[in-house]
Amino acid sequence: MEKILLRNVDAPESHTLAAYRSRGGYRALEKVAREMSPARVIEEVKASGLRGRGGAGFPTGMKWGFVPKDSPKPKYVVCNADESEPGTFKDRLLIEKDPHAIIEGTIIAAYSIGSHTAFIYIRGELAYASQVLQKAIDESYQAGYLGKSILGTGYDLDVVLHRGAGAYICGEETGLLSSLEGGKGWPKVKPPFPATHGLFGCPTVVNNVETLAALPWIIDQGAAQYAALGTEKSKGTKLFSVSGHIRKPGVYEVEMGYPFKRFLEEDCGGVPNGRHLKGVIPGGASMPVLRADEIGEVRMDYESFQAAGTMLGSGGVIVMDETTCMVKAAWNIARFFAHESCGQCSPCREGCHWMEKIFWRVENGQGESADLDLILNISGNIMGNTICPFGDAAAMPAAAFIKKYRAEFEAHIAEKRCVISASG
Amino acid sequence: MLPVLYLAQAEFGYLGTDAIEYVAKIMGVSTARVYGVVTFYTMLNMKPIGRHHIQVCRTLPCALAGAEKITALIKAKLGIDAGETTSDGKFSLLEVECLASCGTGPMMQVNEDYHENLTEERVTEILQSLK
Amino acid sequence: MDLVKLTIDGREVTTTKGRTVIQAAEEAGIAIPHYCYHPKLAIAGNCRMCLVEIEKMPKLQIACNTQVTEGMEVRTQSPKVLQAREAVMEFFLINHPLDCPICDQAGECWLQDYYMQHDLRKSRFIEGKHHDRKREIFGPHVVFDGERCIKCTRCVRFLQEVTRTEELTVVNRGDHSTITLFPGKVLDNPLSANINDICPVGALTDRDFRFRVRVWYLQKTPSICPGCSTGCNISIESYQNRIARFKPRINEEVNSHWICDEGRYCFHALTEVERLASPLIRQEGGLVPTDWQTALGTVVSRLSAAPPAAGVLSGRSTNEEAFLFAKLLKQLSPQARMEVFYRERELTEVERILKSPDRSPNFRGIRDMGVSSDGGFEPLLRELAQGKFSSAYIVAEDLLAQFAAGQELRDALAKLAFLVVQDTHLSETARLAHVVLPATNFAEKEGTYTNRKGRVQRLSPALVPPAGVLQDLEIFGRLLSLAGAPSAPPNSREVFSQIAREVSRYQGLSYERIGTQGVQLET
């Protein structure tokens, strides 16, 4: 398969403008600038079938189409580079190795909605990646791809790199906007939606790094080429970050619809040390875990993961072998969400900590028989009732671990100790 | 706001009440607003931290890769618990959530530098190099 | 105005476009439980208590942030909604200390109320409760209990949006979130105590009212704040014939949902005084008790014998009292000059949100009733100090206490041929009087005030006057009879009817028309 997103990352000095250009970089932008109207770009992206790669999978072209064309307010494009979903490290790779693809994609997105200021919100911990990206932005300005009258077209665009400061919730698009506005990363109540009332109340499109990085190839090679890849509803390729008990962890580019089992066993080399697979989280820590016996027919696209009762999410594949204590794994994730809950709305603020406390008790031999149903109930009470998707993100994995590994949880409670010897 | 807080933190070392008052003044906002922001983000510190600020990832992928052992080793070597600073102010230790380095766990961040694929030997070396 | 038709719980409701479901429901008399929503504050959407089911929407929606649309079908009592509400209640209560017996909010706590309606089940929470700061003093009027707080941020939003003083914020994340002041700051803006009113739970309570009375014993009387001429609508809440607190009463034309701190606590100074129990009359050696007949007779004979007279009426006197006072003074002393007490002070920006610069809630109405000569209060006072009057009738203003540099005034008052002071207590000024008439305070009388902007509003008696005193209105009425004038109507309501006949701007008004929200005079 031809690589689209990872086409440059292994090239020497791939993060430099020179290397990027020598490999066809900014060709798409030149095409856009010389031949394509904004409406035409949006049509092309719609035709490609590209869907948001941050987790929700919303069609990108459609998202852009929601931005009002006649708004007197400034419009903004925001690149969501706040990669924080446990198990996910694909955006970091792109930022460090192929920053110009992100910048080029950002320019194309901004051009198509008529924005003259774009922000790249990068998580604060990624200091090195920030330096690489800032250098690339500077190079891009010098080459005339950013700033006044880009490529002589009369179209102006500034790109501002903004560092976060440590908060998972800023990956949620309205939390990100609150943070960018100078506040706590509190998600906003919707409606209104960012397309009409986003950053500083102005029309805003927020796109993930991977989404934007796919744009240059789509424009350059044509939407049809992209749409020819993947399945009926999940087009193109997707990056998967693979971690945990796996022989070859790392970032993989996979054509949508690729068999999951084959991916894990062949591409990633399978579970090491002669052990067996116990479970795998396919889409980052906020997605329901799959048991080993559930992955046989699963394919790596939005629909197939959904049919299997989980979601593609961010493509963060966390592999767990038979030595893993699923109670401890569930507690680890519950602790993550309790730590990262912004605290704004009641079900999430109270519910995440409550579940974390119960998981801890069960893992530490203090579980009670009612605890498992209680967690399922709490998780159900959070689901769908919060300001932002964080509530669901915390509730779904908690419920899934119990439903899929109930016997192991019950054994912990019955024996009043962790029944799995190895750490997890 | 965050860029200004970063500058202030670099200048003052941490964001105590004086620094917050200063930032509020130059930003033309209330001290309460700045205070709320500072306490929201894990990278903004209201108290001094060690010269070498060690943050070990504890989230699931790193935990599966053995992060607990790494943390235990660092605690033993430095004689401090997570959330504490050595008495000489040289090291502070924090257990943190996912740092987007899951494929190369266990990992830790010392100030701004990532150290990945950690082993106990490697951690010992790194700590020694920092002394 | 565009109208929208929708159904709520099967009932057809018509409302204005742009309204939210919670507003449309309220208009239709359907209460949707909520904590963070407040009609005067920005939508926060954080409590999740107002979740309702809307046809064709897969998830429950918060009623406070959902605009009505034509044909919308809303269910506020469906099993799904009730379950979500119970869940939210449970989330609020797991870390709550459940200290109702010692909580001052008990009886007006929304957690209690909604628990009774929606949860009523045993706690499933067996973990250790989260601890937070207790009894933290936020400012002169506000004390905070972090463990009772539900983080609805009403207080934070009030201070951001109404006073714009921003003293409070939410710090930290997750279940460590808590409301706090920036270290070293004090919450002492002039409207600070309103956050006690809007706090739906026992997190913010009023230091002045705390632990004085359990709220279910309070008797509530709609009235008008006597603090200044803004005329904020209040509820006087009393217990055992004492005022326990003022609460703002909603009036969008005047004070919306708020009152200022100065107004809120002004009842202490106005009512907590040592009350006179009978009229006093000057004899050799000082003031001695006398009977009403002697006192009133003396006022009529000596005031008319010592022209010209000066009349000073308190700004807290009612229109009805002023109407009779003006008639009385003209009857007794045709050259009399009279004014309502009026003085201004500088206000800060935050004070100006509600406060007027004076302390005379009814100065405008009193002038309308004819208690005003050309010069205004200050010239009258100057002339009084300069000895240009032979007698004076001063009602419910301690002029000597108001004017510190008043030696000249004191001497002048002492030299008057006759001074009558009518007040609730023996003020400094009253000590110089020849006759002192014990009367009532604002909370003991019926009547009307006309605020600075010309809105006529009603006072209602919340307290019973002590034995031995007479209503000001009755005093003036009896004096008028003694002076040979046509007899005055027997009560405030009928005096107002006479005002409505005789004072052109008040034509056609009645207590019924004024109601609880007042009537704006035409300019």
Tens of pLDDT, residues A325-355: 999 999 999 999 999 999 999 999 999 999 9
- C87 vs A: CB within 8 A: yes
Q: What is the mean pLDDT of residues C29-50?
A: 98
CA A226 remoteness from chain centre: 20
The residues in A 359-388 lying below 8 A from C, measured between CB atoms, are 361, 368, 370, 374, 381, 384-387
Give CA–CA dist A53/A210, Å, rounded: 6
Q: Is the CB of C181 less than 8 angstroms away from the CB of B32?
A: yes
Q: What is the mean pLDDT of residues C102-123?
A: 89
Q: How confident is the model at residue C479 (pLDDT cuts 50, 70, 90)?
A: very high
Start-end ranges of CATH 3.10.20.600 in chain A? Answer: 237-321
Q: Which residue of B55, B60, B110 to mutate against A (max A Cβ within 10 Å)?
A: B60
Looking at the structure of chain B, the number of domains it has is: 2
**For the purposes of burial, counting CB atoms within 10 Å of the CB of C335, is it exposed (0-12), middle (13-18) or buried (19 or more)?**
exposed
Q: How confident is the model at residue A422 (pLDDT cuts 50, 70, 90)?
A: very low
- A165 vs C: CB within 8 A: no
Residues B116 and B62 both lie in one domain: yes
Residues B117 and B58 both lie in one domain: yes
Q: Nearest chain B Cα to A335, which residue? A: B59
Q: Tell me what percent of the residues of chain B surpass a pLDDT of 70.
A: 100
Residues B61 and B36 both lie in one domain: no
For C471-498, b/e burial (b = at least 16 CB within 10 A) is bbbbbbbbbbebbebeebbebbbebbbb
- Predicted pLDDT at A423: 45
- B24 vs A: CB within 8 A: no
Q: Is the CB of A346 less than 8 angstroms away from the CB of C91?
A: yes
Give CA–CA dist C223/C204, Å, rounded: 25
Q: Tell me what percent of the residues of chain C surpass a pLDDT of 70.
A: 99
- Predicted pLDDT at C373: 66
B-contacting chains (≥3 CB pairs under 8 Å): A, C
Residues of chain A contacting residue C49, judged by C-beta atoms under 8 Å apart: 346
Q: How confident is the model at residue B33 (pLDDT cuts 50, 70, 90)?
A: very high
Give CA–CA dist A318/A240, Å, rounded: 10
Tens of pLDDT, residues C250-287: 999 999 999 999 999 999 999 999 999 999 999 988 99
> Residue A328 belongs to what H/E stretch?
helix A326-340
- C89 vs A: CB within 8 A: no
Domain C3-91 belongs to what topology?
Ubiquitin-like (UB roll) (3.10.20)
- Predicted pLDDT at C122: 85
Q: Is the CB of A189 less than 8 angstroms away from the CB of C84?
A: no
- A185 vs B: CB within 8 A: yes
Residues of B with CB under 8 A from a CB of C: 17, 20, 29-33, 35-36, 39-40
Q: Tell me what percent of the residues of chain C surpass a pLDDT of 90.
A: 94
Strands in C455-459's sheet, in edge-to-edge order, are: C447-450, C455-459, C519-520
- Predicted pLDDT at C119: 65
Tens of pLDDT, residues C377-427: 999 999 999 999 999 999 999 999 876 657 899 999 999 999 999 999 999
Residues B72 and B114 both lie in one domain: yes
Looking at the partner chain, which of B2, B36, B63 has a beta carbon nearest the beta carbon of A165? B2
Q: Do you know the residue count of chain B?
A: 131
> Quick check: C7 pLDDT over 50?
yes
Continuous H helices in C311-462: 319-332, 363-368, 377-385, 399-402, 407-415
Q: Is the CB of B32 less than 8 angstroms away from the CB of C183?
A: no
Give CA–CA dist C172/B34, Å, rounded: 12
Give CA–CA dist A141/A149, Å, rounded: 11
Q: How confident is the model at residue A60 (pLDDT cuts 50, 70, 90)?
A: very high
Main-chain dihedrals φ then ψ at residue B62, nearest 5 degrees:
-70, -35
Tens of pLDDT, residues C164-193: 999 999 999 999 999 999 999 999 999 999
Q: Is the CB of B1 less than 8 angstroms away from the CB of A182?
A: yes
Q: What is the mean pLDDT of chain A?
A: 96
Cβ atoms of C49 and C154 within 8 Å: the answer is no
Q: Nearest chain C Cα to A378, which residue? A: C87
pTM: 0.96
Architecture of domain A237-321: Roll (3.10)
Rounded (5°) CA angle C420-C426-C430: 30
Alpha-carbon dihedral sign for residues A190, A176, A354, B47: negative
**First-to-last CA distance in chain A?**
35
Q: How confident is the model at residue A158 (pLDDT cuts 50, 70, 90)?
A: very high
Tens of pLDDT, residues A254-300: 999 999 999 999 999 999 999 999 999 999 999 999 999 999 999 99
Q: What is the mean pLDDT of chain C?
A: 96
Tens of pLDDT, residues A5-31: 999 999 999 999 999 999 999 999 999
The residues in C 135-174 lying below 8 A from A, measured between CB atoms, are 150-151, 170, 172-174
Domain map (residue ranges) of chain C: 3-91, 280-520
Q: How far is A187 from chain C (nearest CA, A)?
A: 10
- A110 vs C: CB within 8 A: no
* Answer CATH for C280-520 from 1.10.486.10, 3.40.50.740, 3.40.50.300, 3.40.50.1220: 3.40.50.740
Tens of pLDDT, residues B64-81: 999 999 999 999 999 999
Q: How far is B131 from chain A (nearest CA, A)?
A: 23
Residue B46: inside a domain, yes or no? no
CA atoms within a 13 Å half-sphere pointing along the CA-CB vector of A246: 30
> Quick check: A1 pLDDT over 90?
no
CA A242 remoteness from chain centre: 13
Residues B21 and B77 both lie in one domain: no
> Residue C233 belongs to what H/E stretch?
strand C233-239
Tell me the residue range of the domain where B14 lies: 2-40
Q: How far is A101 from chain C (nearest CA, A)?
A: 35
Start-end ranges of CATH 3.40.50.11540 in chain A? Answer: 17-227
- A187 vs C: CB within 8 A: no
Q: What is the mean pLDDT of residues C77-93?
A: 96
Residue B87: inside a domain, yes or no? yes
Q: What is the mean pLDDT of residues C235-258?
A: 98
* CA quadruple C172, B91, B68, A350: dihedral, nearest 10: -10
Residues B13 and B63 both lie in one domain: no
| Ordered DSSP codes for A366-420 | ---TTHHHHHHHHHHHHTT-SSSTHHHHHHHHHHHHHHHSHHHHHHHHHHTS---
Domain A17-227 belongs to what topology?
Rossmann fold (3.40.50)
Domain A326-415 belongs to what topology?
de novo design (two linked rop proteins) (1.20.1440)
Q: How far is B83 from chain A (nearest CA, A)?
A: 14
CA C361 remoteness from chain centre: 11
What's chain A's Rg over C-alpha atoms? 22
- Predicted pLDDT at C405: 54
| Ordered DSSP codes for C372-391 | --SS-HHHHHHHHHTT--SE
Q: How far is B74 from chain C (nearest CA, A)?
A: 27
